[in-house]
């Protein structure tokens, strides 16, 4: 019982985090944010198209950054430390192929 109490003090009900997620457009924004919001415990997810920064507010009692990042990878978007599988990346719309130079140039 004591061990559980100590661990629960270390978790934050409204933790904040931010990290980079690759994408190029508003369709990417929608896909990334939906992947986060569908994760139980995520209260807010806002991805900036220009800076590629994802800002999160989430309940550490219900989820963690690893789980959130896995859900982002599953919809085909790379994070600053992890890369989506080829299969997941291929599911994104052709205008969202952020790994292709021509697509990135078209969005700049």
Ordered by start, the domain boundaries in the chain are 12-107
- State how far the alpha carbon of 8 is from the alpha carbons of 11, 12, 25, 43, 62, in Å: 5, 8, 39, 19, 12
Residue with the larger pLDDT of the pair 1 and 20: 20
* Span 21-69, pLDDT tens digits: 999 999 999 999 999 999 999 999 999 999 999 999 999 999 999 999 9
The 3-state DSSP composition of the chain as helix, strand, coil percent (nearest 5) reads 40, 20, 40
Predicted TM-score (pTM) of this structure: 0.86
Per DSSP, the three-state class of 96 is helix
For domain 12-107, the question of CATH label 3.90.700.10 is answered with no
Q: What is the pLDDT of residue 11?
A: 61
């Amino acid at each position: 019982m004591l061990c559980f109490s100590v661990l629960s003090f270390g978790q934050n009900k409204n933790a904040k985090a931010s990290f980079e997620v690759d994408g190029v457009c508003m369709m990417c924004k929608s896909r990334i944010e939906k992947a986060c919001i569908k994760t139980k415990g995520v209260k807010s997810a806002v991805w900036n198209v220009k800076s590629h920064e994802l800002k999160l507010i989430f309940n550490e009692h219900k989820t963690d950054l690893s789980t959130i990042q896995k859900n982002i990878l599953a919809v085909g978007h790379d994070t600053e430390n992890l890369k989506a599988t080829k299969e997941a990346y291929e599911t994104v719309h052709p205008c969202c192929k952020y790994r292709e130079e021509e697509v990135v140039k078209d969005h700049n």
